Structure 1
Amino acid sequence: MTDVEKMVAQLDELIQSTDLLTTWSQEVFELRHNYTRAQTLATRMEAAIERVSPPGSAYFKEMEKARTVGLQDRVDIVRSTVIALRDDLRAGYLSTIVELVHADLYSDYLEMADGLLGTRHKDAAAVITGTSLEVHVRALCVKHGVDIEQPNGAPKKADVMNADLKRAGVYETLQQKHITAWMDLRNKAAHGDYSAYDEHQVRLFIDGVRGFMLKYPA
């Protein structure tokens, strides 16, 4: 299963989870346990939109609009947005040819990291994931016209490119901080500081980088 197929499956699961909500009357919807469930599902759908859709897209704008209305309307809006996002992902409307080539390449490396982690080789998995992350950050710089070399011609370090991408508005401060933390874990793995992290952190590392590459294709 490709990364895009995984995201489509996750969105499908969210849509199915909200099917019952759309048939509830106002009185049933406002029952305390139903209201809490609706809040939880709305938050999960919004998180999925933020995780998958390109920044500044129509999906984001619809989600922002949903946050200004009541919960029942909010659920309806974000659910419709998730359906549109799923259908567009499935139809391939969110990827250019170059992005698809990169996505396939990165997917292969992350699948390799998955396999290594599954056989308890967390350190090799962390190094491979970190290398994939740095290559993707560099590719994002090329895509968005951000210099990948210093004035003297030397290549920029990953943390510098990360800061430059944030400064260029490619992503926000929170994403920059995530990447900084991921690169720190990669550096620990590359320099033999194996006791500084565990398998659970490497799992979060792999999943986080996969989501980052889907959200910010290069």
Structure 2
Amino acid sequence: MAIEDMMKQINDLLDRISNYLEKSRSSEPEGTAEAGVLANRIEAAVTRLSVSGSVYREQLKRGSRYPDTNRLAHNLQVMITLRDDLKAGWTETVVELVHADTYSDYLEMADALLAKGYKDPAAVITGTSLEVHVRALCVKNGVTTAVAGKPKKATTMNADLKKAGVYDGLQEKKVTAWMDLRNKAAHGDYSAYDKDEVRQFIEGVRTFLMKYPA
């Protein structure tokens, strides 16, 4: 998830909280219940947008014993801190960890499929992880991901990343070869590669994700 998307989620929720605070001035009966709902929504958002063990999640735990209205105020402070840190770019490593965790899950799935003899789905899943990561690398490094309102092809983004100096020509060629294998799997050309090549594909992409986090 891009920083802009994370910020939008937080700001949308902040707008709802602002509306609640305006309503609460009139002491409406349902105010306390709504405070609990909003406090829960903040917990869900902060948990979704941060990683396990982060200071943001630890701060949320401290407010769990408060009454709903006080818990809302506490959680609101936590979310505003997260928003400001995202805006300042201080949580870049947190975003990278979230990406890494997600991709690791998909590659483990590919490993499991390959171990059971399903080389073709394993290749497709690995290729999808690769393409998503290449796009995330573009976003991170200020490389455009669309032309005339249309998403760029993965091969084009790969070339653009090389031009931007994110990685060298050798890495570009490796990514190109991986994308070719992925395309063969996605289009049913299953005889064009074997199980060993898919194994190398998975391990190569795993190393690539670690070497170039996004």
- Report the TM-score range of the alignment, normalised by the length of the smaller protein: 0.5 to 0.7
Segments of structure 1 that go 5 or more residues without pairing to the other structure are 1-94
Partner of 1:123: 120
Q: Percent identity?
A: 74
Question: What is the CA-CA distance between 1:207 and the residue it aligns to?
Answer: 0.1
Question: What is the CA-CA distance between 1:122 and the residue it aligns to?
Answer: 0.1
Question: Are residue 102 (structure 1) and residue 99 (structure 2) matched?
Answer: yes
Q: Distance in 2 between matches of 1:131 and 1:192?
A: 15
Question: Are residue 174 (structure 1) and residue 189 (structure 2) matched?
Answer: no
State which of 155, 160, 164 in structure 1 corresponds to 2:160. 164
TM normalised by structure 2 equals 0.57
| 1:77-97 deviation line (CA, Å, top 9, x unaligned) | xxxxxxxxxxxxxxxxxx810
State which of 169, 192, 203 in structure 2 corresponds to 1:196. 192
Segments of structure 2 that go 5 or more residues without pairing to the other structure are 1-91
Question: What is the CA-CA distance between 1:182 and the residue it aligns to?
Answer: 0.1
Larger radius of gyration between Structure 1 and Structure 2: 2
Task: Point out which structure has higher relative CO (alpha carbons under 8 A, 6+ apart).
Answer: 1
Question: Are residue 210 (structure 1) and residue 206 (structure 2) matched?
Answer: yes
State which of 150, 153, 156 in structure 2 corresponds to 1:154. 150
Partner of 2:181: 185
Q: Distance in 2 between matches of 1:165 and 1:113?
A: 26
The alignment covers a number of residue pairs equal to 123
Q: Distance in 1 between matches of 2:210 and 2:185?
A: 24
RMSD (Å) for aligned C-alpha atoms? 0.7
TM normalised by structure 1 equals 0.56
Q: Distance in 2 between matches of 1:201 and 1:174?
A: 18
Question: Are residue 111 (structure 1) and residue 108 (structure 2) matched?
Answer: yes
Question: Are residue 140 (structure 1) and residue 148 (structure 2) matched?
Answer: no
Letter in 2 for 1:137: V
